[in-house]
Structure 1
Amino acid sequence: MTFAVWMGVAVIGGFGAVSRFLVDKAVTKHAAKRLSRPFPVGTLAVNVSGAGLLGFFGGMALSPNAALLAGTAFVGAYTTFSTWMLETQRLGEERQVWPAVANIVISVVLGLGAAWLGLTVGRLV
């Protein structure tokens, strides 16, 4: 792996992390007006869109370096498994069992659907 690829991972990963922050905040702000209960919709939106994007890149059959930059650097920094689990655990601590279970089920179902859709579209490109 070349120095340029390493630098690309650092820079593109930074863009992915900033994108996650911006999307999460925008979705959470918009949803707060509509939801009566706290639910981690920002993280849900980030992870589902990230699953679709990763499926899309996978369907495109990118070169190894392009896959590393697009999939690992950007999408890896953009999506967040740890925040998803932390938010789910906090819902459980607050005795909001149904929102916690819904967060798990909805995230997995929509994430798999988004990945499949992204893969399908990526194969067409």
Structure 2
Amino acid sequence: MNPVLLVGAGGTLGALARHLVSVAFPGDRGDTLAVNVAGSFALGALTVGVADPGVLALFGTGFCGAFTTFSSFTFETVRLYERGDRREAAGNATVHLVGALVAVAVGGAVAAAI
């Protein structure tokens, strides 16, 4: 199948899933952290456990790309900084980045073990 269509289909599903998470976890920034860590875990598992380029286009680039929201994380961090909450901004950035990197590594390790 055409990779553009696969990425588009996965992106549609990822965006819808992202919206559902934001509805399930209304509030400050918890939904953003949840999708970034979960999406990073999934991407780590996919890149280690899947060799099919079509599956990677659909789920890796498409779904995970639309599901995760690092632009929202960046916006939230900048807003905290601009409000004068410098430590909270630094903490938000640290938790997101470390959480995502750990999630990618754990996802890859889980896929390798299966």
- Using structure 1 for the length normalisation, give the TM-score: 0.83
Q: Aligned-pair RMSD on alpha carbons? A: 1.5
| Equivalence for 1:111 | 100
| Equivalence for 2:23 | 25
Structure 1 residue 64 displacement after superposition = 1.4
Residues 4-55 of structure 1: per-residue CA shift (max 9 Å, x gap): x33222122101011111113322x2xx4xxxxxx41111111011110100
Match runs of 1:65-80 below 5 Å: 65-80=54-69
Q: Percent identity?
A: 35
Structure-1 separation of matches of 2:62 and 2:10: 6
Dislocated runs of 4+, deviation >6 Å: none
Could you tell me whether the CA contact under 8 Å between 2:47 and 2:108 is conserved in 1?
Answer: yes
Structure-1 separation of matches of 2:58 and 2:9: 9
Amino acid across the alignment from 1:92: Y
Could you tell me whether the CA contact under 8 Å between 2:6 and 2:57 is conserved in 1?
Answer: no
| Equivalence for 1:85 | 74
Bigger radius of gyration, 1 or 2? Answer: 1
Residues 78-103 of structure 1: per-residue CA shift (max 9 Å, x gap): 11121111110011111111211111
> Alignment partner of 2:5: what SS?
helix
Amino acid across the alignment from 2:14: G
Unpaired segments of 5 or more residues in structure 2? none
**Aligned mate of 1:15, from 13, 19, 22:** 13
Structure-2 separation of matches of 1:104 and 1:52: 18
Structure-2 separation of matches of 1:64 and 1:24: 30
Unpaired segments of 5 or more residues in structure 1? 33-38
- Using structure 2 for the length normalisation, give the TM-score: 0.90
